[in-house]
Amino acid sequence: MCFEGVPIQNQGMSDLTKPSSHNALIDPFGRTISYLRLSVTDRCDLRCAYCMPERMQFLPKRDVLSFEELERMVALFVRRGVKKLRLTGGEPLVRKDIGALIERLGAFVADRSLSELTLTTNGVRLADFAEALAAAGVKRVNVSLDSLDPATFHRITRREKIQSVIKGLDAAQAAGLRVKINTVALKHDNAEEIPSIIEWAHDRDMDVSLIEVMPMGDVDGDRIDQYLPLTFVRDALERQWTLERDDYRTGGPSRYYRVVQTGGRVGFISPLTNNFCDGCNRVRMTCTGKLYMCLGQNDQTDFRALLRAGASDADLDAALVEAITRKPYGHDFEIRRRNAAPAVDRAMSVTGG
């Protein structure tokens, strides 16, 4: 099989030993790194106001890792004991021939090198890929959805695509995929709608994670106008419903509660009001091959430069081990004063969600 004109063979466990406890990635605080979030593109078919400007400048193709390079990086992490892989973007499903890459990465699930392959999507193209995702071994997906109201959805995303998203959700569930809805809490756009989003999702047997605005990259507006603390949201939900703490975990940062009245779960991802750094088991690689040990820090290792300089698997492994020794305890996110620069200047669409 060829990807982007480059023939690849699955490297499997060649060159380095198979995963075992002695070669796991352990950071300076004793946390085992078992989860990679891998961006496959910075491009997106929406323009969410809290994520990017309307006139976003996307990267040229040459700057983005090829499928061969992406697969080689996954194999590197697998050999070091990473068990969960999430594909992100931008919007991963806009990348040309992405189905071929997902099928290829599914081989790591089939041979149990990975315990889970998932992705985060805006859902616009999900209907076209749902069956292929399930066939590749994907069991669940996260779908970003900040409003059910067409006008509000259009205002937030700057695109009239809500019906495509709903169609994608239907297709995903028909294909047997578990779906979780990710909703960014926005003070002036969807604050009043959050309970109805939760009820709607639970009625469809979908969990919901609520997310605080993250101060990453320049946007057209001011994030202090967008920011809605989830402490306020949870207080409001508890006046309406009974929330019981739930120990359910997916490997991500959500802290879950069971809504007694609906029977479904709602998670809170609150990097600003109640950060989740103490148990962080994750690292992120951008579509350009930069490994960020922390979403909210700028320290990184450039694996694209190593790959394109002809680095061996042993060279890449040494660079990975060294990078993990620099993983910080936590991020420095804060919503700063009006018109201040973002806490991190790179966009979320480049870093990966």
Residue 116, both tokens = 């889970």
Evaluate the CA torsion angle 138, 184, 92, 303 in order and state its sign: negative
Position 254 scores a pLDDT of 79
H/E segment holding residue 103: helix 98-110
**Among candidate residues 143, 264, 299, 287, the one with its CA nearest the CA of residue 211:** 143
Give the HSE-up count for residue 2: Cα atoms under 13 Å, Cβ half-sphere.
4
User: CB–CB of 265/205 below 8 Å?
Assistant: no
For the residues of 280-296, what is the DSSP string, one character each? --EEEE-TTSEEESSTT
Judge contact between 193 and 147, C-beta under 8 A.
yes
Calculate the alpha carbon distances from 57 to 42, 53, 349 in Å.
10, 9, 11
Tokens of residue 71, six digits: 């697969």
Residue 227, strand partner residues: 186
Structure tokens that stand for 348 in this block: 């979320």
Three-state DSSP class for 143?
strand
Could you tell me the pTM of the whole model? 0.86
The one-character DSSP state at 278 is G
CA distance 21 to 38: 23
All structural domains of the chain, each given as residue ranges with its CATH number in brackets, are 2-351 (3.20.20.70)
Is the CB of residue 294 less than 8 Å from the CB of residue 331? yes
pLDDT (tens, 9 = 90+) of the chain, 353 residues, equals: 333 443 344 444 444 445 555 689 999 999 999 999 999 999 999 999 888 888 888 999 999 999 999 999 999 999 999 999 999 999 999 999 999 999 999 999 999 999 999 999 999 999 999 999 999 999 999 999 999 999 999 999 999 999 999 999 999 999 999 999 999 999 989 999 999 999 999 999 999 999 988 754 454 455 567 788 999 999 999 999 999 999 888 766 778 999 999 999 999 988 665 556 677 888 999 999 999 998 777 889 999 999 999 999 999 999 999 999 999 876 554 544 544 444 455 555 566 65
Q: How far is CA 28 from the centre of its chain?
A: 24
Is the separation of the CB atoms in 210 and 203 below 8 Å?
no
